[in-house]
Structure 1
Amino acid sequence: MPYQLRDLIAGTATELGPQAPTLCSPWTVADLLAHLVVRESRPDALPGIGLDVEVLQRRTRTLQDRVAARPFPELVAQVRSGPAPWWPTRIGVLDRAVNVAELSIHHEDMVRAQPDWAPTGLPGPVQEGLWRTVTSMGRMLTRGSPTGVVVVAQGHGRAALRRPPAAAGTVVLYGTPLELVLHLFGRTEVARVEVQGSAEDLQAFATHRTRL
């Protein structure tokens, strides 16, 4: 699955070009590809990706900028080929657990930053992998919600991510696994998700998501 997504990202990046914008502003397409390369080739860069520590983030930015300056076809080819044989995500089960959501989200970060974009039609196995992300990581991502949260994806199921706090109701999110993942990971403005609930709960939930 992740190799399908790497092919997809490489093709989309080639079509858009290195200077096209992404949703991860100020990153361009070249910057985003550099991020994907660095996170799977430079162990010394990982702390700066996962931790909010300026000195670590500065080190990661320096490495990423260096990679982004490479010839664009070389960068695209490295993303397409994936990590070196010694990198942990060469193991299939780890690759699927770590990269299905990461690669799907970053592909849409390129696509949905362009005018007149349309949602990507992902293969069934990728959507199934994204649904697993929704039902597992979704609980952590909604743990601070002021309302209960339920997600529904036609053909995949229904899952309660958070029980409503005292005196609060529940909002229900409807969408494909891809759209739900985008919403849960903060791409609320471009995620095609229908959110249902009382007016009060909808406002509380929307305000909470905006602050994340």
Structure 2
Amino acid sequence: MTDYSRVERLALSDLLDQLGPDQPTLCEGWDTYDLAVHLYVREADPMAGPGIMIAALADTTERRMKRAKERYSFTEVVDKVRNGPPAVSIYALPKIGHQLNTTEYFVHHEDVRRAQPAYVVRTLPADQQEGLWKAVRLASKTMTRKSPSGLVLRRPDGTTAVAKRPTELGSVTVTGEPGELVLFCFGRQQVADVELDGEAEAVDQLRNASFGV
């Protein structure tokens, strides 16, 4: 069975090397160097990890990222990302690492790809799409909890999952391949290749809603 979290890790690392440290990403305020450092400290620095999820600890994460940038060149950081987490990291446990990184590396790979001019939406292998569908079904309720309307995720084959029950604005159905639904639910609504079906006000608000951790 292919580990697509590793496939995405390697592809992203190659792309970072190709582009260099000062190219844009879809992560507001981050260039490619910042994104690489984020990926490195997330897996390798236990003091940095909690601040990625907990806003009150974000300052600590920022300080640890700054320290990593001062210590390592861009090329060194990318090599560390490519080589994977240290043996003592929870991310080094194969099953846990795969579960935690399935969406992480896919989304951040697209954060770099889709920030470049004339990007092309990739056609992903069917088994990767299945893995992303499983992941987005599990994560969508948390990631889209601030949705102003109800939200139904729909695959092109008609399979659906309810991310949020209807509100006073009703519900919007978002249709796309699982990878595109992942991007939508992880706050990349503006670049996700999806179709939205619902009342105009609900659709407009949904496109600009704050999604993510």
How high is the TM-score relative to the length of structure 1? 0.88
Matched residue, 2:193: 192
User: In 1, Cα distance between the equivalents of 2:73 and 2:96?
Assistant: 29
The answer to whether the 8 A contact 1:128-1:156 is kept is no
User: In 2, Cα distance between the equivalents of 1:71 and 1:156?
Assistant: 47
Pick the aligned partner of 1:40 from 43, 54, 57.
43
Pick the aligned partner of 1:20 from 15, 19, 23.
23
The answer to whether the 8 A contact 2:144-2:164 is kept is yes
Deviation at 1:192, TM superposition (A): 1.2
User: In 1, Cα distance between the equivalents of 2:36 and 2:203?
Assistant: 36
User: In 2, Cα distance between the equivalents of 1:32 and 1:153?
Assistant: 30
Q: Does 1:164 align with 2:162?
A: no
Matched residue, 2:13: 10
User: In 2, Cα distance between the equivalents of 1:136 and 1:211?
Assistant: 15
What does the per-residue CA deviation read over 1:180-202, in whole Å, with 9 as the maximum and x for residues that have no partner?
A: 11111111111111101233432
Q: Does 1:59 align with 2:64?
A: no
Q: Does 1:116 align with 2:118?
A: yes
The answer to whether the 8 A contact 1:151-1:174 is kept is yes
Q: Please tell me the residue identity of whatever aligns with 1:14.
A: D
User: In 1, Cα distance between the equivalents of 2:186 and 2:124?
Assistant: 18
Deviation at 1:91, TM superposition (A): 1.9
User: Percent identity over the alignment?
Assistant: 37
Runs of 4 or more, structure 1, over 6 Å off, are none
Q: Please tell me the residue identity of whatever aligns with 1:74.
A: E
User: In 2, Cα distance between the equivalents of 1:197 and 1:120?
Assistant: 27
Q: Which runs of no fewer than 5 residues in structure 2 stay unpaired? A: none
User: In 2, Cα distance between the equivalents of 1:46 and 1:147?
Assistant: 31
Deviation at 1:26, TM superposition (A): 2.0
Specify the SS of the correspondent of 2:206.
helix
Deviation at 1:156, TM superposition (A): 8.3
What does the per-residue CA deviation read over 1:119-175, in whole Å, with 9 as the maximum and x for residues that have no partner?
A: 23333333222111221111222334343211112358321222213x543211011
Matched residue, 2:132: 130
User: In 2, Cα distance between the equivalents of 1:10 and 1:204?
Assistant: 35
How high is the TM-score relative to the length of structure 2? 0.87
Deviation at 1:110, TM superposition (A): 0.8
Aligned length: 208
* Deviates most, 106-115 or 121-130: 121-130
What does the per-residue CA deviation read over 1:45-90, in whole Å, with 9 as the maximum and x for residues that have no partner?
A: 122222212xx32322222123234223222211111101121122
User: In 2, Cα distance between the equivalents of 1:206 and 1:25?
Assistant: 17
